[in-house]
Amino acid sequence: MKIIHISFHIQEVEDITELTAAERQLIEASQQMVENAYAPYSEFQVGAALLLENGQIIKGSNQENAAYPSGLCAERVAIFSASANYPGVEMKAIAVSAKTVHHQSDQPVSPCGACRQVLLEYEFKQKQPLKMFLVGSSGKIYLVEKVSDLLPLSFTAHELGRL
The whole-number pLDDT of residue 157 equals 77
Inter-residue contact 49 to 95 (CB < 8 Å): yes
For residue 161, being part of any structural domain is answered with no
Find the catalytic residue in 75, 90, 123, 145. Answer: 75
Mean pLDDT by 10 residues, the chain (163 residues): 92 94 97 96 96 98 94 97 97 96 82 96 96 91 96 82 69
For residue 156, being part of any structural domain is answered with no
For residue 114, being part of any structural domain is answered with yes
H helical segments located in the chain:
21-34, 74-85, 113-126
Q: What CATH number has the domain bearing residue 139? A: 3.40.140.10
Provide the domain limits for residue 126: 11-150
Rounded-to-integer distance, Cα 73 and Cα 134, Å: 15
The whole-number pLDDT of residue 163 equals 63
Inter-residue contact 105 to 137 (CB < 8 Å): yes
Q: How many CB atoms lie within 10 A of CB 86?
A: 16
For residue 15, being part of any structural domain is answered with yes
For residue 118, being part of any structural domain is answered with yes
For residue 53, being part of any structural domain is answered with yes
Rounded-to-integer distance, Cα 33 and Cα 52, Å: 17
Number of domains in the chain: 1
For residue 130, being part of any structural domain is answered with yes
The question of whether 75 is a catalytic residue gets the answer yes
Inter-residue contact 25 to 74 (CB < 8 Å): no
The whole-number pLDDT of residue 93 equals 98
Helix (H) or strand (E) holding 131: strand 131-135
For residue 123, being part of any structural domain is answered with yes
